[in-house]
Homo-oligomer: A and B are copies of this chain.
Amino acid sequence: MSQRITFTLAATDGRARTGTISTPRGEIRTPAFMPVGTAGTVKAMLPESVRATGADILLGNTYHLMLRPTAERIARLGGLHRFMNWERPILTDSGGFQVMSLASLRKMSEEGVTFSSHIDGSKHKLTPERSMEIQRLLGSDIVMAFDECPALPATEAEVAASMRLSMRWAQRSRDAFGDRPGHALFGIMQGGVTKDLRAESAEALNAIGFDGYAVGGLAVGEGQEAMFGVLDYAPGFLPEDRPRYLMGVGKPDDIVGAVERGIDMMDCVLPSRSGRTGQAWTRRGQVNIKNARHMDDPRPLDEHCSCPACRSYSRAYLHHVFRAGEMISGMLLTWHNLHYFQELMQGLREAIAAGRLAEFVRDFHAQRAEGDIEPI
């Protein structure tokens, strides 16, 4: 795999972009939505089914995989792609965000973070160097720099200090990553909702130089308005010829707003997590399949959707299997949700390529405003 990972912009429409990230493991059409395969599986899905929804790339979680089954074990077994039977590209996060949100007894220092596993309480340490090593052992195609994401609420001084630590860690990540043809390293911009800090962070990352850039520290509870406020300027601080990745986003309207503002890549557990709790996402908004109004409804979730759940099952069936606690409920709703998210991305890509994104976004909001179909 000596081929370099490249990014080619095909078209822009306003600030929105569409293009292709080429990797030795296949192409990633942007804007791209990455389903999350936390512990080596996109929950409730077989990988061939995830691919069938249109996903070009998955996200794997360094924090979960380093604890179980461990990066060293995955490396001995031939890497994460073979382990989880997904031969296309994988992006791994750095573990930084999840150490903050999931691990207990965290201790931060300039060196890195020590913490206790949420599984068995065992002690672990993550540093920029160790994060790079783990992501190399996993065989990740797109590696994320190790960063800190401060918990909200935080003062501007705290956000600034945290961002500057992340920038020093970004340099250490870059140094530890080295030169690995066929693999990319992305830096992560921090700085909260403060424009000057975002600019300072971008400048630091640009000086180091990365294959792509993430906008970090958003979608952590600040709200859509504040997030869009940052996205109104932050992508513009980053080089045009590199992919821009918004981490942990999001709901369909978050995705549309982010793409309008120049974001190329996103990831979120939402479609799979919602699927397991009986929530479906459709063109007309969210549908709660638990609701008794679906009990006798012979119609599909969405009559225009071509996913297996909508092609072959009634709302009445989906309601029944959810209420009965049957696994097929999570399997079908997750499939539907991932299909809908990928269909949305395909629609966005085509609209940008055709220069009619504004019209696409207008229709997107109009359909949602209609709401779910009337009870029969």
Identify 19 residue pairs between A and B in the complex whose beta-carbon atoms are under 8 Å apart, listed by A's number: A39-B320, A39-B321, A40-B320, A40-B321, A41-B326, A44-B328, A45-B328, A46-B308, A46-B328, A46-B331, A68-B320, A68-B323, A69-B295, A73-B296, A77-B298, A77-B316, A77-B317, A83-B314, A327-B331
12 other A-B residue contacts (CB within 8 Å) besides A44-B331, A69-B316, A73-B296: A40-B320, A40-B324, A45-B328, A69-B295, A73-B316, A76-B296, A77-B296, A77-B314, A83-B314, A83-B316, A83-B317, A83-B320
* A46-90 interface bits toward B, Cβ cutoff 8 Å, 1 = contact, 0 = none: 100000000000000000000011000100111000011100000
- Tell whether A233 is near chain B: CB-to-CB under 8 Å: no
Q: How far is the CB of A314 from chain B (nearest CB, A)?
A: 6
Most buried by B among A40, A41, A84, A298: A41
* A276-315 interface bits toward B, Cβ cutoff 8 Å, 1 = contact, 0 = none: 0000000000000000000110100000000010001110
- The chain A residues found within 8 Å of chain B, CB to CB, are 39-41, 43-46, 68-69, 73, 76-78, 83-85, 295-296, 298, 308, 312-314, 316-317, 320-321, 323-324, 326-328, 330-332
Residues of B within 8 A of A317 (CB): 40, 77, 83-85
Residues of B within 8 A of A331 (CB): 44, 46, 327, 331
Residues of B within 8 A of A320 (CB): 39-40, 68-69, 83
Tell me the number of copies of this protein: 2
Residues of B within 8 A of A328 (CB): 41, 43-46
Contact in complex: B39, A327 (CB < 8 Å): no
Contact in complex: B41, A298 (CB < 8 Å): no
Residues of B within 8 A of A77 (CB): 296, 298, 314, 316-317
Q: How far is the CB of A80 from chain B (nearest CB, A)?
A: 10
Contact in complex: A43, B326 (CB < 8 Å): yes
Closest residue of chain B to A76, judged by CB?
A: B296
Contact in complex: B327, A43 (CB < 8 Å): yes
Residues of B within 8 A of A73 (CB): 295-296, 316
Closest residue of chain B to A119, judged by CB?
A: B324
Contact in complex: A78, B327 (CB < 8 Å): no
Residues of B within 8 A of A39 (CB): 320-321, 324, 326
Residues of B within 8 A of A85 (CB): 312-313, 317
Residues of B within 8 A of A324 (CB): 39-40, 68
Q: How far is the CA of A197 from the CA of B83 in the complex (A)?
A: 56
Residues of B within 8 A of A323 (CB): 68
Q: How far is the CB of A1 from chain B (nearest CB, A)?
A: 21
